Amino acid sequence: MITTLLLTSLATITGCVKDNGPNGNANLEHFTYTVQANQWYTYGEFGHSGWQYYHQIDVPEVTTEVMEKGAVMVYIKENDLFYPLPATTDYDGWVNTIQFNVHLGMVEVFVEDTDFQTVNPGTMTFKIVIFDQLKSLPASLDIKDYKQVLAYMTR
């Protein structure tokens, strides 16, 4: 796991909003980060299992309370739409996976191909959504659907 590497770089913050849910039930925050092609780090050895690109995003809003009682969702932007992570794309003979880990004060995004030939993923934009009290969210809310989450947050 890449948690042993603690190289952190700054991502470009392109937006930040903090909202209370309906009737103040949940504090919800969402941030948009763009990771530039030159901000990715590598882990492992090219051509071997575990070879990947990763980026660590400082997110001080991921507190102990969030880790214990809330949730963090990460979405990737493609063609002006946001899709939930983890995301996999099946190519002819190999699979590309984009995943994330959540740590206190940080979200780590990583990209890996099953053929161990992962190349720099280039510029990518992510939306990070933080719920500090998951129990207050309605059961009907599909947290994998960014549009539903955003609608819930801003109503």
Report, as an integer, the average pLDDT of 41-68: 95
Question: CA neighbours within 13 Å on the CB side: how many for 108?
Answer: 19
More confident residue, 144 or 49: 49
Instruction: Measure the CA–CA gap between 103 and 109, rounded to whole angstroms.
Output: 11
Instruction: Measure the CA–CA gap between 94 and 19, rounded to whole angstroms.
Output: 40
What are 60's two structure tokens?
A: 């001080």
pLDDT digits (tens, 9 = 90+) for 96-146: 999 999 999 999 999 999 999 999 999 999 999 998 776 566 778 887 787
Report, as an integer, the average pLDDT of 72-78: 94
- Name the one residue in this structure whose structure tokens are 């990583």: 110
Instruction: Measure the CA–CA gap between 104 and 58, rounded to whole angstroms.
Output: 9
Report whether pLDDT(89) > 50: yes
Instruction: Specify the pLDDT at position 135.
Output: 59
Q: What percent of the chain has pLDDT over 70?
A: 78
Q: Beta partners for 128?
A: 31, 74
- Name the one residue in this structure whose structure tokens are 């599909």: 142
Confidence of residue 39 (pLDDT cuts 50, 70, 90): very high
